[in-house]
Structures are given as structure tokens and as C-alpha cells.
């Protein structure tokens, strides 16, 4: 009950008119940042961080974390409307969100995305409120082998979800791994695959690939197919929100599973992006409508969004208690804590209870405010699809280019974006799936680094991946998921 008292005290701190105003400003800014591809939450928070330096720390972190929530909410918008993920963790949202929009159900997809985000965040906040000491020590169990097992599990959960040709999936994934390997090898400190060009030594940024492959690729395809969006019949009245809410309780099992996956990945911290992929993969395998995934089912939006937002929220816990950021945005916030004279670590909860509980209370409030703000924007965003293609397409191109430029402030990235756009177009024409490429690009180097760190620790023994209950069950689960198609085939044979 101590937690409830502390939380109430936190609400008293967070609920001043000034803080509520900051919360609102933060959410609106965050949604804008999330909607614009490339300009991620990390950039947004970094730019605004100095402005908050004159505020009391609690107010400052409330505003900055609200920008973060806003970006988590907003990322789904462009994924659904234009097949352009605003943030890395909304890539998986495009798989079913965009087909839904094409069917004229953009409003339903947006409502489902925002509501699931809220549910995910809410579960994570409750978890943080009551179980933070336990969870914090759980994160300490994670060494390189455990991290690799988590990434392995993500890959295994996702492999086999695409319906197309298996060889094409493998080819696409391998290209992703190859691109992920470019740049500095963190284990040996050597440059790889740069062929002497200093301009690509930073490697291929995931965001630029995504903006190009999805955004530009999609526009090229639309150009070919008759210069208009298919979602023009989108309903615009606010009743769509209520109608969608009636439908959502049907997916309670998916929501719970996704929230659990998200919380787990946030605490570890594995990140929101792998969480969204893993959750999509798991939801697809376990859903009765398995075959319809990818053609526009609401469940395919609920799964990745719930997990992404749960992970994004839970990621703040390792940041506060261990000083390890679970996401790029959390890393910038971490810098902020130090600037305000707060030392993240196990003692933060004891020494600065006002700050910590004020922040946790603001997570509850910020997400409620966020949900209200984004739901009111649903008709507005859906209406964008009614703008003629000739007007909106050039705007999207410009926004994508700006987004690509902001990632590293470099012109080269804009050219790379265009190249990725052409690749995306060709891939779609030849019916190669894009998702495996993207997944390999985002997780490839992390999976490789943790694999090699494990090999260093175990001196080359593969048994490290089964050396304790935790890592063993993660690896085992991954293997089961990997051979799932085979297992279900076997089961069917036996049943017959």
C-alpha cells in the first residue's frame, strides 16, 4: 500500500495547472514528431532538452516524457495512412494498418492503434508502479547470452509470418543482414564493408531504409497504379471511434499477450521495435484468422501497437533504476536527468521520491491526455486521404526527404533514401517481402554483437545459450517457434 500512497503523492505533484499545460504541449509536440518520419522522439527530446533546463526537474521530465508518449502514439499515423512508418516501432503496424486504410477503414485502424497504445502503456505503468524493485533486479539477469536469445526469439517469432515464397523471404532477410554489417564492427573495432568510402562508415541507418523502402517505394507504386489513394472512401465522423471500441474487446487475448511481450522487452531492455515485430508474429500464429493477417485485420494493428507502447513505457524503468536506456529517446532523457542533478540508479527512488512518483503519476495522466488528443485527430488524419494525390504526394516526398536528412544531418542519406525507394518498388514488383529485410537491418548488428559477446564469455561454447533456466527457456521457445510450421504439419499428420 506504500506504493498507492506514494502514487497519490505523485499525482498531487503532477496535477498542477503548469504541469498539466506542459503535459498537453508535450503530447501535441510528440504526436507531430511521431507523425513526421525521421524526426524521431530522440531528436525531438534532444532539441527541446535545453529549454527545460530552467524548469523544476519534475516539470521538465513530465514535458519531455510526454513528448515521448506523443511520439509513440503518433508513429502509427503515417504507417496506417501512407504505409510510411513514422517511427521504427510502427513498421509492423503497416502490415495490417495500411491494407485497412485501403479498404476505407483508416479511422478504425487509427482508433485501434491509439487505443491499443494506451492499453499497452497502462499495463506497463501499473507494472512499474507496483513491481519496480523486483523488475529492476530481473533486468540484471540479462547478460549477452540472454540478449542474443531474446533477439533470436524475435527472429523466430517473425519468420514464417510472411505468406510468400520462403526463398524470397530468406533473400530479403540476408540483404538486411548484409546492410546491417556495414560500418564499424563493435567487437573488433574495425571498419567492415565500407570499401574505403568514408561516407558510409556510419552504416545504413534503419530509419532511412524504412523511409525509402516503404514511403518512396509506396509512392512510386501509386504513381504506376493510377495516381490516387484507395482509401478515399474513409468515413470521417467520430462514431468510428465508438464502433471500433465495440470491436476491440474481441481481441483481449492478443492485447494481454502483446502487453506482456512489450513489458518484457522494455524491461530487459530489448526495445520497442523488436517488441512490435515479436508481438505481431506471435499474434498471427495464435490467431484463429491466421490467414487474413496482412490483408487488413484490426488484430494485426492491435498486436504491434500494444507491444510497442508497453515496451516504450517499460523502458523508462531500467533507465531510472539502472541508468541503462531502453531506447534512443530514453538515452537522451538519461542525459537530462544528470543535467538536473539527478543520478539515475537504485537510490533514485529513495532519494528523490517526489521526482520519481511525480514522473510515474505523469505517465498515467500523460497517457490519458495523449489518448484524448490523438483520438480527436482521427477524423482529421483520415481526411488527409481525401486530398488529391497530386497535392499530397509531393508533400510526402518533401517530408520524407527532410526526415531522412534529420537522421544524421547529411545529404547522402537523402540520396540513399531514394535508392532504397527504388529497391522497395522493385521488391514489391517482384513480390519480395520487405519486412524481413527491415527486421534484419534493425536487429542484425545487435544480435551479432550479443552473439559474439557471448562467444567471448563462453570461449566459443554454444552451451552458453542453455546455461541457465532463463536463457535456456528463451532459446528453447525460439527453436519451437522456428520449427512451428514443421510441428503443426506433424500434428496434422498424427491427427489424421
Partner 1 sequence: MKTLTGISRGLSCAASAVLLFCGLADLAIGQSWKPTKTVEFIVPAGTGGGADQMARLADAIIKKHKLMAGNMVVINKGGGAGAEGFLDVKNAKGDPHKIIITLSNLFTTPLATGVPFNWRDLTPVAMLALDQFVLWVNAESPYRNAKEYIEAAKKAGPGKFKMAGTGARQEDQIITVALEKQGSIKFTYVPFKGGGEVAVQLVGKHVDSTVNNPIEAVAHWRSGKLRPLCVFDNERLVYKNKVTDKQSWNDIPTCKEAGVDMDYLMLRGVFTVPGAPPSAITFYIDLFNKVRATPEWKEFMAQGAFNQTFMTGDAYQAWVAKEELRHLRLMKEAGFLAPGGK
Q: Which residues bind partner 1 (CB under 8 A)?
A: 42, 46-47, 49-51, 53-54, 139-144, 183-191, 194, 198, 201-203, 322-325, 328, 331-332, 334-336, 338-339, 341, 343-348, 408-409, 449, 453, 456-457, 459
Of 285, 286, 284, give the one whose Cα is nearest residue 300.
284
In the complex, minimum distance from the CB of residue 469 to partner 1, in angstroms, rounded to a whole number: 15
Compare residues 300 and 336 and give the one whose CB is closer to partner 1.
336
Nearer to partner 1, 143 or 476 (CB): 143
| 65 or 77: CB nearest partner 1 | 65
C-beta atoms surrounding 422 within 10 Å? 14
Residue 261: CB minimum distance to partner 1, A? 22
Residue 278: CB minimum distance to partner 1, A? 21
CB of 46 to partner 1, least distance (A): 7
Nearer to partner 1, 336 or 358 (CB): 336
**CB closer to partner 1 out of 104 and 345:** 345
Q: How far is the CB of 301 from partner 1 (least distance, A)?
A: 30
User: Is residue 310 within 8 Å of residue 124, measured between CB atoms?
Assistant: yes
Nearest residue (CB) to partner 1, 163 versus 468? 468
Question: Chain centroid to CA 255: how far?
Answer: 16
Longest dimension (CA), the chain: 71
Question: Cβ distance 421 to 274 under 8 Å?
Answer: no
Nearest residue to 56 (alpha-carbon basis) of 487, 326, 348, 354? 354
Smallest distance, partner 1 to C-beta of residue 346, A: 4
CB-based burial label for 377 (10 Å; 0-12, 13-18, 19+)? middle
Stated as kind and residue range, the H or E segment containing 93 is helix 91-102
70 within 8 A of 28, measured Cβ to Cβ: yes
DSSP 323: S
- Whole-angstrom Cα Rg for the chain: 22
* 335 vs 394 by CB, closer to partner 1: 335
DSSP state of 213: I
Size of the chain in residues: 496
Q: Locate cell 501535441: which residue?
A: 28
Shortest CB 42 distance to partner 1, Å:
6
Amino acid at each position: 500500500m506504500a506504493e498507492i500512497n506514494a502514487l497519490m503523492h505523485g499525482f498531487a505533484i503532477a496535477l498542477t495547472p503548469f504541469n498539466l499545460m506542459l503535459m498537453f504541449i508535450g503530447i501535441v509536440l510528440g504526436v507531430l514528431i511521431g507523425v513526421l518520419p525521421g524526426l524521431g522522439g530522440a531528436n525531438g527530446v534532444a532539441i527541446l532538452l535545453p529549454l527545460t533546463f530552467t524548469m523544476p526537474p519534475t516539470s521538465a521530465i513530465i514535458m519531455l516524457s510526454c513528448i515521448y508518449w506523443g511520439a509513440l502514439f503518433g508513429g502509427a499515423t503515417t504507417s496506417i495512412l501512407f504505409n510510411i512508418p513514422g517511427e521504427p516501432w510502427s513498421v509492423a503496424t503497416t502490415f495490417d494498418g495500411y491494407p485497412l486504410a485501403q479498404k476505407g477503414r483508416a479511422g478504425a485502424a487509427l482508433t485501434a492503434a491509439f487505443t491499443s497504445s494506451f492499453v499497452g502503456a497502462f499495463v506497463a505503468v501499473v507494472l512499474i508502479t507496483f513491481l519496480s524493485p523486483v523488475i529492476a533486479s530481473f533486468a540484471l539477469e540479462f547478460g549477452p547470452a540472454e540478449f542474443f536469445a531474446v533477439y533470436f526469439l524475435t527472429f523466430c517469432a517473425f519468420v514464417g509470418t510472411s505468406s510468400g515464397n520462403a526463398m524470397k523471404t530468406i533473400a530479403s532477410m540476408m540483404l538486411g543482414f548484409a546492410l546491417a554489417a556495414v560500418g564499424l564492427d563493435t567487437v573488433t573495432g574495425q571498419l567492415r564493408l565500407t570499401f574505403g568510402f568514408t561516407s558510409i562508415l556510419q552504416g545504413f541507418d534503419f530509419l532511412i531504409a524504412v523511409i525509402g523502402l516503404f514511403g518512396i517505394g509506396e509512392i512510386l507504386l501509386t504513381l504506376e497504379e493510377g495516381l490516387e489513394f484507395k482509401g478515399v472512401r474513409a468515413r470521417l465522423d467520430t462514431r468510428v471511434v465508438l464502433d471500433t471500441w465495440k470491436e476491440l474487446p474481441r481481441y483481449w487475448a492478443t492485447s494481454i499477450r502483446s502487453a506482456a511481450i512489450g513489458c518484457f522487452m522494455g524491461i530487459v531492455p530489448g526495445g520497442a521495435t523488436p517488441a512490435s515485430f515479436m508481438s505481431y508474429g506471435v499474434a498471427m500464429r495464435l490467431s484463429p484468422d491466421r490467414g487474413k493477417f496482412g490483408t487488413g485485420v484490426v488484430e494485426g494493428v492491435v498486436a504491434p501497437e500494444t507491444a510497442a507502447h508497453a515496451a516504450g513505457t517499460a523502458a523508462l524503468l531500467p533507465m531510472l533504476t539502472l541508468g541503462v536506456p531502453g531506447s534512443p529517446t530514453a538515452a537522451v532523457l538519461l542525459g537530462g536527468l544528470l543535467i538536473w542533478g539527478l543520478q539515475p540508479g537504485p537510490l533514485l527512488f529513495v532519494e528523490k521520491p517526489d521526482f520519481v512518483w511525480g514522473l510515474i503519476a505523469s505517465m498515467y495522466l500523460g497517457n490519458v491526455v495523449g489518448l484524448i488528443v490523438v483520438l480527436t485527430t482521427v477524423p482529421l488524419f483520415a481526411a488527409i486521404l481525401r486530398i488529391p494525390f497530386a497535392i499530397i504526394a509531393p508533400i510526402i516526398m518533401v517530408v520524407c526527404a527532410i526526415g531522412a536528412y534529420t537522421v544524421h544531418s547529411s545529404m547522402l542519406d537523402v540520396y540513399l533514401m531514394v535508392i532504397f525507394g527504388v529497391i522497395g518498388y522493385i521488391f514489391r514488383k517482384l513480390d519480395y517481402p520487405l519486412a524481413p529485410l527491415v527486421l534484419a537491418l534493425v536487429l542484425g548488428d545487435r544480435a551479432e554483437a550479443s552473439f559474439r559477446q557471448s562467444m567471448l564469455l563462453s570461449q566459443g561454447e554454444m552451451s552458453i545459450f542453455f546455461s541457465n533456466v532463463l536463457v535456456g527457456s528463451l532459446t528453447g521457445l525460439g527453436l519451437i517457434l522456428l520449427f512451428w510450421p514443421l510441428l503443426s504439419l506433424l500434428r496434422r499428420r498424427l491427427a489424421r
